[in-house]
A and B are shown apart, each in its own frame.
Chain A
Amino acid sequence: MKTLYLDNAASTPLLDQVKSKMFDVMTDCYANSSSIHFAGVQSMKEVEKARELIANSLMASSEEIFFTSGGTEANNWVIQSLCLRRDPRRNVIVTSKIEHPSIRAPIQWVQDNWGMEVIEIGVDSNGVIDLNELKDALNHKVLFCTLMHVNNEVGSVQPIREAAELCSKLGIAFHVDACQSFLKLPIDLSVLELTYLTINAHKIHGPKGIGALYMRKGFELPALIRGGGHELNHRSGTLNVPAIAGFGKAVEIQKSKPATFNELTDNLNWLASQLQVEFPQCVINSPQLNRAPHILNIRFRGFLGKDIFWALNKAGIAISNSSACSSNKMTPSHVLKAMGLSDEENLESMRISIGLLSRKEELQNLIHKLKEIIK
């Protein structure tokens, strides 16, 4: 059965050059990158090359990039490490109602176990936070603010530049989860006044199990994982050199192709317009403007999202009817709820997300199949 993968916001296929790079490094750079002999240095060089590529893509310095096992670890590191420094006078976390579980869960944990107070900023019907509400929430009691750049379920883009300025004026640490926006939207850390930034590889056609935390110079966090002192004593554990090399290669390929954003946007806009032309019952939950170029959250009035999901699955087409982390649960999405959708509308919804390898012909196939299902 010919298959069609349209769940790129959950994870992406490896690019061929990434696979080759990883295979070469796996084969040739097997030494521990902490070893000081020639073989270890060879492994460390691959790590440093990747680090530089990633840093350059963000207009950061390589000393500000620290590798982790993924976005979830990086998010947990920021939240838990910052809360280690809490004091009763500064124990408030400001976040949004639409964050990823890898932000919500550690925040819930520090709230339950360390007495942190949490303010969740609401979003409008487009899934964008209210900046005035954010401004009102930020004060001397706030320890840090954390916001995602692009929402993983609907693709709404948050005003992180404005949020960073608000936090910076008050001396509040500001963390951005950029896992869905990295290499899809411009991020220039030489002008964006944020303190910490999370990225990962498997959303950008790189391998799973590797991510990075950007920590602005002077704002380094204590380690949560201690041991051999890797990553300048910030995160111990033998480095996954092939995965890091794959991460770097994925960045290198995509930074050399500045047309990526336009291609993705064209394909997604085409899909959105076709859905609205072909299906009068189709409603697009994602914002019409100012949305990520790869995510489209839609619903068909009168049809359960899971029914369409499984019908497409049977036809070899992979989409999502919730965020990937919770796609095995049938609870209404907290993101769509925050945007004002009813439970019924929520359960009608699904997410289609394209990637670099998605072609218009494939999206046409999706439309054809949907015509068979939606009658």
Chain B
Amino acid sequence: MREVSEQIDLRGIPCPRNTAKALMFLEALDDDMISLIIIDDGEPLNNFLESLELETGYRIEAKEQQGNFWNLYILKEGP
């Protein structure tokens, strides 16, 4: 997998603020960038993934569980 260009740590931030911040973060990226989103396990992860499904132009390249949080590697494909 390519190197991560930008990352955001959303641990401890409740829903839906974490989802809103994650989506804003992704929107600000350039096309073809890989980002790392760190997010709490459970509802935060699930809610974000549900919201991401409604967006176009993003692909989850990898997901790693790290105890009670997840590392999500997301490619911004562009239009």
Chain A residue contacts of B51, Cβ below 8 A: 36, 38, 41
Residue A47 is within 8 A (CB to CB) of chain B in the complex: yes
Residue A263 is within 8 A (CB to CB) of chain B in the complex: no
Minimum C-beta distance from B76 to chain A (A): 17
- The answer on a CB contact under 8 Å between A36 and B16 is yes
Given A41-B51, A232-B14, A36 and B19 touching (CB < 8 A)? yes
Chain B residue contacts of A33, Cβ below 8 A: 16
Chain B residue contacts of A40, Cβ below 8 A: 16
Of all chain B residues, the one with the shortest Cβ separation from A229 is: B14
**Roughly how many angstroms separate A44 CA and B16 CA in the complex, as a whole number?**
7
Chain A residue contacts of B15, Cβ below 8 A: 36
**Roughly how many angstroms separate A232 CA and B23 CA in the complex, as a whole number?**
19
Chain B residue contacts of A49, Cβ below 8 A: 24
Of all chain B residues, the one with the shortest Cβ separation from A231 is: B17
How many B residues have CB within 8 A of the partner chain? 13
Chain A residue contacts of B21, Cβ below 8 A: 48
Interface 0/1 of A222-249, CB less than 8 Å to B? 0000000100100000000000000000
**Roughly how many angstroms separate A33 CA and B14 CA in the complex, as a whole number?**
12
Given A36-B47, A38-B54, A41-B51, A48 and B14 touching (CB < 8 A)? no
- The answer on a CB contact under 8 Å between B14 and A41 is no
**Roughly how many angstroms separate A232 CA and B10 CA in the complex, as a whole number?**
13
- The answer on a CB contact under 8 Å between A44 and B14 is no
Residue B4 is within 8 A (CB to CB) of chain A in the complex: no
Chain A residue contacts of B62, Cβ below 8 A: none
Minimum C-beta distance from A324 to chain B (A): 34
User: Which secondary structure characterizes the binding site on chain A?
Assistant: helix
Residue A76 is within 8 A (CB to CB) of chain B in the complex: no
Chain A contact-residue range equals 10 to 19
Most buried by B among A35, A36, A40, A47: A36
- The answer on a CB contact under 8 Å between A41 and B16 is yes
- The answer on a CB contact under 8 Å between A45 and B47 is no
Residue B20 is within 8 A (CB to CB) of chain A in the complex: yes
Minimum C-beta distance from A237 to chain B (A): 15
- The answer on a CB contact under 8 Å between B23 and A41 is yes
- The answer on a CB contact under 8 Å between A47 and B14 is no
Interface 0/1 of B7-39, CB less than 8 Å to A? 000000111110111011000000000000000
- The answer on a CB contact under 8 Å between B54 and A45 is no
Chain A residue contacts of B20, Cβ below 8 A: 41, 44-45, 47-48
**Roughly how many angstroms separate A145 CA and B23 CA in the complex, as a whole number?**
40
Chain B residue contacts of A47, Cβ below 8 A: 17, 20
Q: Which listed residue (A44, A52, A232) contacts B19, Cβ 8 A?
A: A44
Minimum C-beta distance from A29 to chain B (A): 11
Residue A260 is within 8 A (CB to CB) of chain B in the complex: no
- The answer on a CB contact under 8 Å between A35 and B16 is yes
Residue A265 is within 8 A (CB to CB) of chain B in the complex: no
Chain B residue contacts of A232, Cβ below 8 A: 13-14, 17
Q: Could you list 21 A-B pairs, sorted by A, with CB under 8 Å?
A: A33-B16, A35-B16, A36-B19, A36-B47, A38-B51, A38-B54, A40-B16, A41-B16, A41-B19, A41-B20, A41-B23, A41-B51, A44-B16, A45-B20, A45-B23, A45-B24, A47-B17, A47-B20, A48-B20, A48-B24, A232-B17
User: Taking beta carbons and an 8 Å cutoff, which residues of A are in contact with B?
Assistant: 33-36, 38, 40-41, 44-45, 47-49, 52, 229, 232
Assuming A36-B15, A36-B51, what are 13 further A-B pairs, CB within 8 angstroms?
Answer: A35-B16, A36-B47, A40-B16, A41-B23, A44-B16, A44-B17, A44-B19, A44-B20, A48-B17, A48-B20, A48-B21, A48-B24, A52-B24
